[in-house]
Copies of this chain bind each other. A is one copy, B any other.
Amino acid sequence: MELKIGALGRATDTNVETIRYYERIGLLSKPPRTGGNYRAYGAPDLNRLSFIRRARDLGFSLDQVRALLELSDDKARDCATVDELARDHLAEVERKIADLEALKAALSDLIASCCGGTVADCRILEALAPSTTSPAA
């Protein structure tokens, strides 16, 4: 079961450029080549890339993915480190949500305040403009 890069991409729903990129940054190891210098992947590569994709889909950074992959190699180890990584990531996600919720509230207020006139008295732009810009002509 040998896969060329295109087949691997289709199997994992990954752009071939992304696969080569992962190889370049050392996330995937360099596979053997065919006579025509094509990359020849096997089942372990497929598994590894699937793992990567799933972790990415869960929002883990490439560095976190790298760490997860390393941890998963050490089968006897306590999984506390894995848990911590996941918990940290969850905390990050929660922080981002909170930030975005604040943004959403501010934006909603802004939009609600607009009364539908001309740009000259648009409250949205007013809110963005520096306070009391108008020079007392």
Contact string, A28-64, partner B, CB cutoff 8 A, digits 1/0?
0000000000000000001100110011001100000
Interface residues of A in 76-103 (CB under 8 A from B): 76-80, 82-83, 86-87, 89-90, 93-94, 96-97, 100-101, 103
Residue of B nearest to A59 (CB): B103
Number of copies of this kind of chain in the complex: 2
Residue of B nearest to A125 (CB): B72
B90 and A125 form a contact (CB under 8 A) = no
Q: When chains A and B are docked, how far (Å) is the Cα of A76 from the Cα of B120? A: 6
Contact partner of A122 among B59, B79, B107, CB < 8 A?
Answer: B79
A118 and B86 form a contact (CB under 8 A) = no
7 shortest A-B CB distances, which residue pairs?
A: A79-B122, A75-B120, A50-B130, A90-B107, A72-B125, A77-B119, A54-B128
